[in-house]
Amino acid sequence: MSDAVTALIAAERLPADYREVVEQFWQPLADRIAGEAKGHKPLIVGINGAQGSGKSTLCRFLEVLLKPQGLRVATLSLDDLYLTRAERADMAAEVHPLFGTRGVPGTHDVTMALGLIEDMEAGRSITLPRFDKSIDDRSGEGETIPGPVDVLLFEGWCVGAAPQDQAALIEPINRLEAQEDRGGVWRGLVNRFLAGDYADLFARIDLLVMLKVQGFEAVAANRRLQERKLAEANPGAPGLMDETALTRFLDHYERLTRHQLSEMPARADVLFEIGPDQRPLRLPDGLEGARSIT
pLDDT tier for residue 293 given thresholds of 50, 70 and 90: very low
Degrees (nearest 5) of the Cα angle 55, 217, 170? 100
Q: 2-273: which CATH topology?
A: Rossmann fold (3.40.50)
**Is 60 exceeded by the pLDDT of residue 90?**
yes
Q: Return the closest-CA partner of residue 136 out of 92, 69, 83.
A: 83
Mean pLDDT of 149-173: 97
Q: What is the pLDDT of residues 188-235, one digit of tens each?
A: 999 999 999 999 999 999 999 999 998 888 887 777 777 676 666 767
pLDDT of 230: 65
Cis-peptide, bond into residue 42, ω within 30° of zero: yes
CB 42 within 8 A of CB 151: yes
Strand partners, 212: 273
For residue range 119-159, list pLDDT tens digits in order.
999 999 999 999 998 889 998 788 999 989 999 999 999 99
**Which is nearest to 85 in space by CA: 106, 107, 104, 105?**
107
**pLDDT, greater one: 294 or 61:** 61
What is the pLDDT, as a whole number, of residue 239? 60
- The mean of the pLDDT values for the chain is 91
* C-alpha distance across the termini of the chain, in Å: 6
Gap between the Cα atoms of 272 and 200, Å rounded: 25
Treating both helix axes as pointing N-terminal to C-terminal, what angle do 216-233 and 243-263 enclose, rounded to 10 degrees? Answer: 140
Give the model's confidence band at 34: pLDDT under 50 very low, under 70 low, under 90 confident, else very high: very high
Higher-pLDDT residue of 239, 113: 113
- In 213-280, the DSSP E strands lie at 270-273
Asked if 196 and 99 touch (Cβ cutoff 8 Å), the reply is no
User: Which pLDDT does position 292 carry in this prediction?
Assistant: 43
Sort strands 151-156 and 73-77 into parallel, antiparallel or unpaired. parallel
Rg (CA), the chain: 19
pLDDT of residue 22: 96
